[in-house]
Homo-oligomer: A and B are copies of this chain.
Amino acid sequence: MKVTIYDVAEKAGVSIATVSKVINSTGNMRQATRERVLSVMEELNYYPSMMASALTGKKTETLGLLVPDISNPFFSEIARTIEDRAHEKGLSVIMCSTDESLEKEKKYLELLRRKQVDGFIIASSFNDKNLLKGIKSASIPLVMLTQEAGMAGVTSVAVDDFSGGYDAANHLLELGHQKIALINENRLSSKMRVYGFREAYESHGYTFTDDMVITTNASLANGKKVLQTIINNGNLPSAIFACNDLLAIGVLQGARERGINIPEDLSLMGFDNTILATTSVPGLTTIAQPIEEMGKKVVDVIIDSINNKYSGSERILYNPELMQRDTTRVLSEERV
């Protein structure tokens, strides 16, 4: 049978209250007593149940993390830094991949509420804001990662997507590109990148039109597919800006398969600076997010709000950084 606090108390010849005190290092007691209890705990292989203690008003020491897809390198990389930081602070994390699907978001949110997680870190879109409102009004700590909540009173940590997009456009524009296609995801952060791009683009005096952008979900396959679409549309652009590395690499693969040379025939940019950008050939020019910093920050914020040391509602924005590698280059004369 499972060994409980009663077993320990009995064997150590004390009350369960005393055992509880040694577990939590609270209250006063003789050193000898403490040691005796400790050794009995050891001897019996006793693991205090966090369920039981959570039930008595303590925390569950568990965080819920909702990401679109943990197998997407960007999210697995940030999940790793979150996990590390959380563990450092004594919390575990339950991860859920939502695929940005409303049903899954709803289901997982409910599940995690029932599990009484101490707080949520949310990197999934949550287009149904009511879901978020529900947890907000139950005053369960909540921090958005990678995007804003789209409602008051929720803090978020993210890169400055707009300026990342802006930088991307500038880079391409400086290289002489003007006919550019964008690949976008249907989430706010991606759209911000496109807006930023647009801003820079127009400030160079060009006209941005919506048909320059194609929206799809993040995956290698979709990257390829979109490239195909772009090709089919005829009128190949001289550069493509994908709103994340996964899509960009998909384009890269597709290009290779069709004999389109990158960057000779086509310049390509991604966003995120995941492992994929560093391992591809040519190396992917991309906009880096400070993944580690963001991961740490987001757990620090959630922990502070769990402990009521934080009740703000900020937008914490990090600066993106252009990582210039080898998929972009000056537009050669003959293509102008």
Binding site for B on A (CB under 8 A): 2, 45, 47-52, 54-55, 60-62, 69-71, 73, 76-77, 79-80, 83-84, 87, 92-97, 107-108, 110-116, 134, 138, 220, 249, 252-253, 256, 275-276, 278-281
A93 proximity list for chain B (CB < 8 A):
94-95
A87 proximity list for chain B (CB < 8 A):
96, 107-108
Judge whether A70 and B60 touch: CB under 8 Å: no
A60 to chain B minimum Cβ distance, whole angstroms, is 7
A2 proximity list for chain B (CB < 8 A):
138
A44 to B69, CA, bound (A): 32
Judge whether B83 and A76 touch: CB under 8 Å: no
A111 proximity list for chain B (CB < 8 A):
92
Judge whether B97 and A83 touch: CB under 8 Å: yes
A59 to B314, CA, bound (A): 38
Question: A249 and B279 in contact (CB under 8 A), knowing A60-B51, A71-B76, A76-B70?
Answer: yes
Question: A52 and B55 in contact (CB under 8 A), knowing A115-B62, A220-B278?
Answer: yes
Question: A80 and B94 in contact (CB under 8 A), knowing A116-B51, A278-B220?
Answer: no
A279 proximity list for chain B (CB < 8 A):
220, 249, 252-253, 276, 279-280
Residue of B nearest to A3 (CB): B138
A115 to B48, CA, bound (A): 9
A47 proximity list for chain B (CB < 8 A):
110, 113-114
Judge whether B73 and A92 touch: CB under 8 Å: no
* A-B residue pairs, 3 tightest by C-beta: A76-B76, A281-B281, A71-B80
Residue pairs across A and B with Cβ atoms less than 8 A apart, 17 shown, are A45-B138, A49-B114, A51-B51, A51-B55, A69-B80, A71-B77, A71-B80, A71-B275, A76-B76, A84-B97, A87-B107, A92-B96, A92-B115, A93-B95, A94-B95, A95-B95, A252-B279
Question: A95 and B83 in contact (CB under 8 A), knowing A116-B50, A138-B45, A279-B279?
Answer: yes
A80 to B87, CA, bound (A): 21
A258 to B114, CA, bound (A): 55
A115 to B76, CA, bound (A): 24
Residue of B70, B278, B281 touching A79 (CB-CB under 8 A):
B70
Residue of B nearest to A256 (CB): B281
Most chain B CB atoms below 10 A, which of A51, A62, A84, A134: A51
